[in-house]
Amino acid sequence: MIQVKDLVFGYNTSRKIIDQISFDVEDGHCIAILGNNGAGKSTMLKCLNRILSPNKGVVCVDALEITAMKQGEIAKHMAFVAQKNDNNRITVFEAVMLGRIPFIKWGVTREDEAVVSSVISQMHLDEFAVRYLDELSGGELQKVMIARALAQEPKVLLLDEPTSSLDLKNQLEVLGLVQRICHSKNIAVIIVIHDLNMALRYCDRFLFLKDGNVHAYGGQEVMTCECIGEVYQMPVCIGTINGYKMVVPE
């Protein structure tokens, strides 16, 4: 479980990008961070694992205070996947092995190799294991970056717009894999995402940010026309298609 309390961050004292952010995420739940551009979504995500050091507030994972840890220790509890990733001239297996760095002391062990092989299989990347990253498509590369994060065996997985550069098929495949891993591995997943309909399809709870503050947080009950209209400043209607709740601009 991750608990966030009174998180504050600003690059200077005159303007706070996020202010007094508080929420919690149960193990095995996937939450979507929603809001318009500039609302503070990616900034908040980076504060959770101290890529950015918050000015105030506390982040705890299973009662361990992340905000007081060094980065090496944080990496044993939380994994982060950025919006854009370098496609270096290394193989998929080597890239995923980088996720084991927080645990490697004197060299790669059989356990490390077993973890990496298992994650590659879970992410359906077996046929790409010896391919180089710069030979992969955008969807394939994104799955490798998620696999690398999962090789850390995190309790919390942070994803910053993981589908922003993917086509529809790859969006569905990547988010479907993330959802299944979240539930089967019983880890907390926090996703910054712009697509409300993808969020509704794959996430359990929804946190709306507006002007750096929590506007609403909860399950399907907060995904209303009124809430969405207030956050995005535009009217929408909500309906159901093939059993899925859908948001459509009016």
Domain count, the chain: 1
pLDDT of 156 reads 92
- Tell me the DSSP string of 67-99: GGS-HHHHTTTEEEE-SS----SSBHHHHHHGG
SS (H, E, C) 163-215: CCCCCHHHHHHHHHHHHHHHHHHCCEEEEECCCHHHHHHHCCEEEEEECCEEE
- Closest listed residue to residue 144, CA positions, set 161, 156, 128: 128
Cα–Cα distance measured from residue 2 to residue 7, given in angstroms and rounded to the nearest whole number: 13
Cα–Cα distance measured from residue 220 to residue 92, given in angstroms and rounded to the nearest whole number: 37
123: tokens are: 């992410």
pLDDT of 228 reads 93
DSSP type of residue 242 = T
Please report, for the domain that includes residue 36, its CATH number: 3.40.50.300
Cα–Cα distance measured from residue 218 to residue 169, given in angstroms and rounded to the nearest whole number: 28
Scan for tokens 């400043």, then name that residue: 233
The range of the structural domain enclosing residue 157 comes to 2-249
Q: What is the pTM (predicted TM-score) of this model?
A: 0.91
Burial of 106 (0-12, 13-18, 19+ CB in 10 A): exposed
Cα–Cα distance measured from residue 6 to residue 4, given in angstroms and rounded to the nearest whole number: 7
61: tokens are: 């994972």
User: Measured over all CA atoms, what is the biggest interatomic distance in the chain, rounded to whole angstroms?
Assistant: 59
pLDDT of 88 reads 75
Cα–Cα distance measured from residue 175 to residue 182, given in angstroms and rounded to the nearest whole number: 10
Question: Along the 250 residues of the chain, how does pLDDT read in single tens digits?
Answer: 899 999 999 887 778 889 999 999 999 999 999 999 888 899 999 999 888 888 899 999 888 888 788 888 888 899 999 877 666 788 999 999 998 988 888 888 888 899 999 999 988 899 989 899 888 888 888 889 999 999 999 999 999 988 877 888 888 888 998 899 889 889 999 999 999 999 999 999 999 999 889 999 999 999 999 999 999 999 999 989 888 889 998 8
Cα–Cα distance measured from residue 145 to residue 161, given in angstroms and rounded to the nearest whole number: 13
Cα–Cα distance measured from residue 22 to residue 170, given in angstroms and rounded to the nearest whole number: 32
